[in-house]
Copies of this chain bind each other. A is one copy, B any other.
Amino acid sequence: MAKKVTARRAKPVAKKKVTAALPEGASKRKTKPPRAKTAARRSGKAPRAKTAAKSNGLDADMLWSMYRKMVQIRKFEEHVWDVYIRGLMPGLAHLYIGEEAVAVGACAALREDDYITSTHRGHGHCLAKGARLDRMMAEIMGKEAGYCRGKGGSMHIADMSLGNLGANGIVGGGFGVATGAALSAKMRGTDQVSLCFFGDGAANQGILLETGNMAAIWNLPVIYVCENNQYGEHTPSDKVTGSERIVDRAEAMGLAGVRVEGADVMEVYEVVAAAVSRARRGDGATFVEMMTYRFRGHHVGDAATYRTAKELKWWMENRDPINLLGERMIKHGIADRSRLERVDEQVEEEVVEAVEFARNAPLPPAEQAREDVYA
């Protein structure tokens, strides 16, 4: 497995002009999606990447690491799909395919002891925060060797030893935990930060206002990362969201806000890194709206008939975060196709191994159902 990408290891990436949010690999002519308003725009208050992006050379190690992690997530999810189809997995899972750059870019800006909270669509967050493929897959298959001993499944994977406070089956369920972890870090006098992943749908849960407001008044070290993939289940985001930009809600609560092209892992990294240093310095919370898209249905088994093939195609062709990064690495002479393919193959092997591990791992014995209720 790829080594964990942490901000401590991270060397500066090229400082891009922050308003030019389009990934270099995307042709300018093809960039307008059939629906949705993806144009990145920054609020005046938005933090700027400082510490993390002070030179203008590309850090090859870091790019390779991010590339590898995104491929890992992609292949992991493809195997989850496969495992589901083969009937090896109980319940359901919500795949992260298409959104990899958000988790990977964001978590690359975090230290191992920083916190994240994740969502029902959480596999990508977990892997990006350093979770192991085998224990993840084991959890998804309900095995005792899984992260949660089989008690949580796909929707509740956590690895507290790596600061992953857990996925949540309640849409918006992470706001409280993440903001409370930030309060805790502040009270304990550490410089940890807390990062909350959530969707465009979750942004309509009132608790966003409540926790965001508290983050603002108490200047908490929290970064809210809204994954605006433009749908909540089968419903288009713009049908159920009053404002054009979700990030505007943050400013109205007194938070710094910024909207980002979520398919560009470097852009994501840069903006989150800036938000992280801001939080670590004690300058408070930031809200980042990431424009992204899921390439699969809401969950395994959802045929996603509520959106057009054309729309999907546009996103897959123009906003595949793995392609975009790969092309850029090639362009900058950091990678060539064969090396990229080698990574793909290596990762594929790792994931297949993880699936095999999980398949062969035993189910938890029934009596464990009564354990872990109380400490």
Binding site for B on A (CB under 8 A): 204-210, 212-217, 239-244, 248-249, 251-255
Contacts and interface: CB of A to CB of B under 8 A. Distances in A.
A22 to B, nearest CB: 26
A204 B239 CA distance: 25
Contacts of A212: 242
Nearest to A251: B252
9 contacts: A205-B209, A209-B209, A209-B249, A213-B240, A215-B242, A217-B240, A242-B255, A248-B251, A249-B249
Main SS at interface, chain A: helix
Shortest 10 CB-CB distances between A and B: which pairs?
A206-B206, A242-B254, A216-B242, A252-B252, A209-B209, A248-B252, A249-B252, A243-B254, A206-B210, A213-B242
A106 B254 CA distance: 28
Contacts of A251: 243, 248, 252
A323 B82 CA distance: 75
A252 B43 CA distance: 13
Contact of A241 (B215, B217, B242): B217
Contacts of A216: 242-243
Contacts of A206: 205-210
A207 B205 CA distance: 8
A240 B216 CA distance: 9
Nearest to A250: B252
A304 B219 CA distance: 28
A29 to B, nearest CB: 31
Given A206-B206, A217-B240, 15 more contacts: A205-B209, A206-B207, A208-B209, A212-B242, A213-B240, A213-B241, A213-B242, A216-B242, A216-B243, A217-B242, A242-B253, A242-B254, A243-B252, A244-B254, A249-B249
B204 A210 contact: yes
Contact of A249 (B205, B214, B240, B253): B253
A252 B242 CA distance: 8
A279 to B, nearest CB: 15
Given A243-B252, A251-B248, A252-B243, A205 B210 contact: yes
A255 B252 CA distance: 13
Nearest to A219: B242
Given A249-B253, A252-B248, A213 B217 contact: no
A251 to B, nearest CB: 7
A205 B209 CA distance: 8
Given A242-B255, A248-B251, A254-B242, A213 B204 contact: yes
